[in-house]
Chain A
């Protein structure tokens, strides 16, 4: 008997020491240096709902990436036809995701067919019609290419966003793909959520477009936009009143250059106005291109367009060959620095849409923790007192098991690096309720046995034996539920399931070993005539 008691007590102490070892980093801050070298230094991870932070779910609009690939094909075909002097009426992307080509005569059709099979073999002819001497094609990309464009849009989008967040500087961010076309982002402890959203959600498509000075802006604003042109706006904020107005520009639709030739973007301050701007460096190809564009368009205006907003449209005074340019606008320092970040990290291959945003301010998180802990403490004290009053000495033993339980559970959470959330706390409450219940079950059984006139030792043994199966049954049923919820649940349900399953397993241990060993020890030391229960 003594061996068995020693053995079980040893087990309890071993697990207790282990739990405390894992709990030390959470309780003591800062840790001594010698500790972090060999021993676990991970704190219990708190979920965003408790510590504050931002949880975003983005949907990558992959069809936009496909559309822009189609646009590229369309403009490429146009260029080729123009270069080879082939007449055409129309080459455009349609809303159904096809390229419509309309050719005026059979000569053009013959030459186009040749070019199509030579250069654009990966475009499938989805429809072909000949009407009144004109030839109409509907071309589409093959599904494999579409799929690979979609996949790379998500992969690149993820990479770009990760770059932006890294440069923004957030500790322990989570950036992960989810489902078919979603990206999950968690930014704990973020202070300026709106700024982060702007930074992450921005497509950052940088384009250089010529201002069309040959046609009238007034006419275009009335509705007659010349073919190949578009109207984009510049946001102008009045320095004194802060009122934002939109200034229209008539631009050539075709972008002369895009942001993919960038190598660097930095914030600088204009010395005379103390105004921040972003200076950008081009790679060799971009430098040559910029040189050529500026040389060909001296005295014309070149608009710098980011995500369809005009930032500035300076007149090209002379040829610029240094491979550098600058974007000015009335930026605040933060805006300029964020713009530099998104330009450096590159454009998103497809726009993203925020479909879920849960932001918890740090004060609310702290408030929840404080109140939750206080409430849990009050609850625990009530239970502890109740048990001690109702079951006397045995109740105190049950209380000891309860405390053991909580320490084990916290230790287990810390060691498994599980994340503690609000629903997770609910799971702990249920688990602790079950721990109390296990003891109540046993004590009621022992009382029954004592009532039958058994000796203390016999009653304790019989009570435990009989309650054992009930405890196992109720715990296993709950464990099944918890494990299934863990497997199939998401987010908060998962958090609940983790603490509940851990709690149930620990309960079984402490209910079956934790209290019994004390009763056995008391019985071993002294032949009890009566038991305080």
Chain B
């Protein structure tokens, strides 16, 4: 027993690049805007990067969000953000603006306020996070350095295994994906935090694998059909691996769906980023990475090196 979703396809992906480049340009621009806004401190930067305090409560009984908000405002926490999880009467509070209260005391103060406000509704503090602004800065810096160095390493390996243009195009496609998801998060005003960085790294890894698989087939076909047009070779390569791409993406998608719906609030945004990443990563290896190689190579007569 077995099924085959896709038979032999013959889609002209290279011709479609006019449209895909426009779409990708929009996505990447969005991502770049998000990045600029982030560095200016205008976006929804999580407290692990921006510094601040977050406290998560779990109440015994249902509570009114307005009461909590009001209690905080009265007691001098005007700029706090409240988020309610109906699942298990949970409440997440984030205070980003630096207050006069020293580190280590903000969470304390909030707990004290709530003990008074919700005297008849017992609660436990599920988690507290307090991060000084300096730590946030150094985390940002470290994450950036790590990402840049790994991108360079990846380009070098692909340049050695394939050709320089492949390496650069793969890196471009990977950054395209990361920026797109970042842009979408920015549009939805979701929080950019360390967990999002982890999910961006995960989807970068996934997208990269996808791209390498397509490249491998292009390389193989270029060797077999060195007299054909580059566009045709790329097109048929993508078509040949299309069913694999769809199958793999579906399985990863299934896992992410499960995480999204059943994984709990801690990894909710994380799995959302992965879901986006799977879709965009699959799209980019077909519509971005390979067309870039085509654009790069089409003017030149030289045969592509096909080292194995």
B-binding residues in A (CB < 8 A): 57, 59, 193-194, 197, 201, 353-361, 363-364, 367-368, 371-372, 374-376, 378-380, 382-383, 386-387, 389-395, 422-423, 426-427, 429-430, 432-434, 436-437, 440-441, 444, 447-448, 466, 469-470, 473-474, 476-478, 480-482, 484-485, 487-493, 496, 500, 532-533
**Would you call B127 and A364 a contact (CB within 8 A)?**
yes
Residue B56 interfacial (CB < 8 Å):
yes
| Whole-angstrom CA separation of A369 from B124 in the bound complex | 18
Residue B68 interfacial (CB < 8 Å):
no
Residue B149 interfacial (CB < 8 Å):
yes
Residue B36 interfacial (CB < 8 Å):
no
Residue B204 interfacial (CB < 8 Å):
yes
Residue numbers in B under 8 Å from A193 (CB-CB): 128
Secondary structure type dominating chain B contacts: helix
| Whole-angstrom CA separation of A90 from B308 in the bound complex | 81
Residue numbers in A under 8 Å from B256 (CB-CB): 379
CB-CB nearest in chain A for B194: A492
Which B92-136 residues sit within 8 Å CB-CB of chain A? Answer: 102-104, 107-108, 124-132, 134-135
Residue numbers in A under 8 Å from B103 (CB-CB): 353-355, 357
CB-CB nearest in chain A for B278: A433
**Would you call B195 and A492 a contact (CB within 8 A)?**
yes
Given contacts A379-B259, A392-B1, A429-B255, 9 further A-B contacts (CB under 8 A): A360-B126, A368-B264, A380-B255, A389-B3, A430-B205, A469-B308, A478-B209, A492-B197, A533-B2
| Whole-angstrom CA separation of A393 from B199 in the bound complex | 33
Question: Provided the pairs A430-B205, A481-B204 are in contact, do residues A489 and B252 lie with their beta carbons within 8 angstroms?
Answer: no
Residue numbers in B under 8 Å from A485 (CB-CB): 146-147, 150, 201
Partner of B58, one of A360, A363, A386, A482: A363
**Would you call B142 and A474 a contact (CB within 8 A)?**
no
Residue numbers in A under 8 Å from B150 (CB-CB): 480-481, 484-485, 488
| Whole-angstrom CA separation of A430 from B199 in the bound complex | 10
Size of the B side of the interface (Cβ < 8 Å), in residues, is 79
**Would you call B213 and A441 a contact (CB within 8 A)?**
yes
Residue numbers in A under 8 Å from B58 (CB-CB): 363-364
Stretch at the interface among B69-77, B228-236, B242-250: B242-250
Secondary structure type dominating chain A contacts: helix
Residue numbers in B under 8 Å from A491 (CB-CB): 139, 194
Partner of B248, one of A201, A360, A429, A440: A440
Residue numbers in B under 8 Å from A469 (CB-CB): 216, 308
Q: Which 4 A-B pairs have the closest CB atoms?
A: A371-B264, A355-B132, A379-B258, A392-B2
Residue numbers in A under 8 Å from B41 (CB-CB): none
